[in-house]
Amino acid sequence: MIWMDYTVESAGSNFTVKGDWPGEVMGVCKDGTPKENWLYKPGDVFVVNENGWLVKTNELAVLMAKYEQGKYTNGSSDSD
């Protein structure tokens, strides 16, 4: 599927994808009814691979463990 005509809005290291109406990319039709397709939904977790693809994962616990390990490996043991 190809998604076109969307705006990527960034704030610091965060970003969001905006459609023509609020919720469009998260599966909400303009009239508020559910769509059959969506780009992402609240709670989705993605990992960026070496080719720049955002790959959806259900392994949040593994991801958090890798993040915490990386903080210690990179010399920072401060919690956020």
Residues 67 and 80 in one domain: yes
Q: Output the pTM of the full model.
A: 0.63
- Whether residue 20 is predicted with pLDDT greater than 90 in this model: the reply is yes
Q: What pLDDT is recorded for position 62?
A: 77
Q: What pLDDT is recorded for position 35?
A: 93
Residues 75 and 52 in one domain: yes
Residues 49 and 15 in one domain: no
Q: What's the whole-number mean pLDDT along residues 4-27?
A: 93
Tell how many helices (H) and how many strands (E) occur in the chain: 1, 4
Residues 26 and 48 in one domain: no
CA–CA separation, 34 vs 76, rounded Å?
Answer: 43
Backbone angles phi, psi at 65, to 5 degrees: -65, -40
Residues 61 and 47 in one domain: yes
Place of tokens 């969506």: 38
Q: What's the whole-number mean pLDDT along residues 49-68?
A: 84
